[in-house]
Amino acid sequence: MLRVAILWSIVVLSAACASPTAAPPPASGTTQTVSEWDQVLEAAKREGKVVVAGPAGADRKDALTQDFESRYGITVEYAGIPIRELLPRVHAERGSNQYLWDIYIGGTGTDLAEAVPTIFDPLEPALIRPEVKDLKQWRGDAYEFFDEGRRLMVMTPFQRGIIFVNPSLASPDDFKSYRDLLDPKWRGKIVSDDPRTAGPGQATFTYFYMHPELGPDFIRALGRQELSLLRDYGQEVDAVGQGRYPVLIGTSDAIVEQRMKQGVPIAIVDPRQLREGSDLSPAAGNVAIFNRAPNPNAAKVYVNWLLSKEGQTPFIQATGYISSRLDVTTEYALPWRVPIPGAVKTYTMQAFETIPALNALLEEVFGR
């Protein structure tokens, strides 16, 4: 009995001294990230809504509201409003100590460039979901921001259409370079969105100004072609579709695509056939979180959804843009919209810094 007792004591002591098998540690950051996301989501549901200023259009509104509301049960109060109208409104509201907006989705511009540091928060601290933070999912293995403060994020850079024709009056094959616009046969027969005001016309002439093979002399030569300048995208497209002009430059290619689907006789010259290509633009594909947002947690949930594959897909489907996310399909966009490495970007701060010199040149060429 004594030997049995001694042997049993040894077994018990050995078991007590043995090191337990350690559980595998959680993947780096997983526990913290899930916990943070759950806390933010719970707080967001208590807030109950997120207020979004986004691009106009029922298709864009649906893409930016319905799936999110269905997934999270958080209401999206959505206003389709262009930046030229939104900024004065925000400044007036803040003058009365009202902070009413959570999320901005839209374009860029010289006015916005000045306002970005004062109305938006740095975006990266709000990014929580692992698939959003995984830079390998993004073009160039990096986020792209409009500003040095990394407040306004570029979601959808794509090649822009610049030359448009009425196929019964001009062939897309007539254009292999923008210099083909200088052919005397087009004098008095080109309509353009007015480059002296913010919009695609200004972006187009910014591109001409910045391109090393075009530049100011090309703009002067183009001015001698007696362009007709308009300030309404619909009127510009209709002028070509109705046969009053054979060639249009610098309008909203999104409006052109809409008209094409409606059977209007207008075609986009494929930028890939042009020697100089075309410029990159995100159009209304930029996102930011307003500082002092009234629903800060809902804003975080929304931006993490929007920057995921789940959120980008309906937005891309509605707009025909190209997402910066590599895991989002390009099937909803025309093939020529896929970004070309090294293409001129007309939406950057560097591009906006050229605007004063460009405006002086445009006044010289077209008058005030």
pLDDT digits (tens, 9 = 90+) for 131-189: 999 999 999 999 999 999 999 999 999 999 999 999 999 999 999 999 999 999 999 99
Cβ–Cβ under 8 Å, residues 288 and 116: yes
Instruction: Give me the CATH code for the 34-158+282-337 domain, please.
Output: 3.40.190.10
Quick check: 303 and 288 in contact, CB under 8 A?
no
- Extents of the domains making up the chain: 34-158+282-337, 161-278+352-366
Let me know: does 322 contact 147? Beta carbons within 8 Å: no
Q: How confident is the model at residue 57 (pLDDT cuts 50, 70, 90)?
A: confident
Question: pLDDT at residue 24 above 70?
Answer: no
pLDDT at 71 over 70: yes
Give how far Cα 221 sits from Cα of 49, 172, 277, 357, Å.
Answer: 53, 21, 19, 17
Strand order from edge to edge, sheet including 228-230: 228-230, 190-193, 247-249, 163-165, 267-268
Within this chain, domains 34-158+282-337 and 161-278+352-366 share the same CATH topology? yes
Helix (H, G, I), strand (E, B) or coil at 131: helix
pTM of the complete model: 0.82
Q: Are 356 and 206 in contact (CB under 8 A)?
A: no
Q: Is the separation of the CB atoms in 174 and 237 below 8 Å? A: no
363-367: average pLDDT? 97
| Closest of 124, 112, 138 to residue 53, by C-alpha | 112
CATH class of 161-278+352-366: alpha beta
Count of residues making up the chain: 368
Q: Specify the residue for token string 């001294």.
A: 17
